[in-house]
Homo-oligomer: A and B are copies of this chain.
């Protein structure tokens, strides 16, 4: 398995060719509306003067960086606006491998496949740390796995695919493990608006030279296609200042700068969108989680109720998470999920369902009928 999209496509294409209607619970693209302020921001942008259609600063539209800095409580200069969380994670990973000793990147298993694909692509040794029975990476296991060979540790909270959310105590431990091993902790917080526990802790609060936090507006504003993300690096004048400098240079060399209409629309949406928008989306997802978990209860499946994010993993007795079984579910039940085997070893028995469809109730009924 090299990266996510082809695996996704394999299931999505199978579902499209099916003889019946299928509820798509494969991709992680929100099915709800972006904030109205985002649409309005695009309309405003369309009427701006010609100079606003030209290059913005390589590190990002200044107004957007200011908004992000204020919200995250960080220095604006530490922020690089990227082409989505994808580029943010790429810059952080490559930078961590360059700056810190060792060639190893530690990832959770089950893993968001893009992390593994990216780590393979850049030539890192990849180590996997299996999550515990309820889907959490434990500091004990990460500490045991980390060594002087480790250059980078990646955590993702709320987690794709397990739904785990790491609290302050766990995050403090992850930061400490990175510091103890002369390594970089990359904390991918792209689902931070979808914490259902109230216990989510950003890695930024620890103010460590061994931490890069990555994020994007893809999920929080339902705009995966806009490609507006960012990474927050340790300050340029600190002991790991070259992380920021190298990331800025690499971003400039590869992309020059990000797309301006998208950055402008996000900036305007940040200014005009109140907490209700995010709360509404969170509530909608929690309703879907209730519905779906009831169905899993009804058929006697094992699952962990997600603490955050978009996904539920279920384990059905005698029905492991293979592509074969997932295709069977498409044909016989009319529900498409992602096989656990696409996420590594530890959840091969499981199937991941993305709750980004208005027909979760229909999917739930179909699963109950099938199992």
Contacts and interface: CB of A to CB of B under 8 A. Distances in A.
A74 interface: no
Nearest to A8: B55
Interface stretch (A44-52, A150-158, A330-338): A44-52
A46 B2 CA distance: 35
Interface string A70-99: 000000000000011011001000000000
Given A55-B29, A83-B255, A226 B260 contact: yes
A51 B254 CA distance: 28
Interface stretch (A31-39, A132-140, A288-296): A31-39
A3 B251 CA distance: 12
A259 B262 contact: yes
B54 A29 contact: yes
Nearest to A228: B259
B255 A52 contact: no
Contacts of A265: 261
A5 interface: yes
A325 to B, nearest CB: 26
Interface string A103-142: 0000000000010011001100000000000000000000
A227 B257 contact: yes
Contacts of A56: 225
Interface of A: 2-3, 5, 27, 29-34, 39-40, 42-43, 45-47, 50-56, 58, 83-84, 86-87, 90, 114, 117-118, 121-122, 222-228, 249-250, 252-262, 265
9 contacts: A30-B50, A33-B50, A34-B50, A54-B222, A87-B256, A121-B249, A227-B257, A227-B258, A262-B262
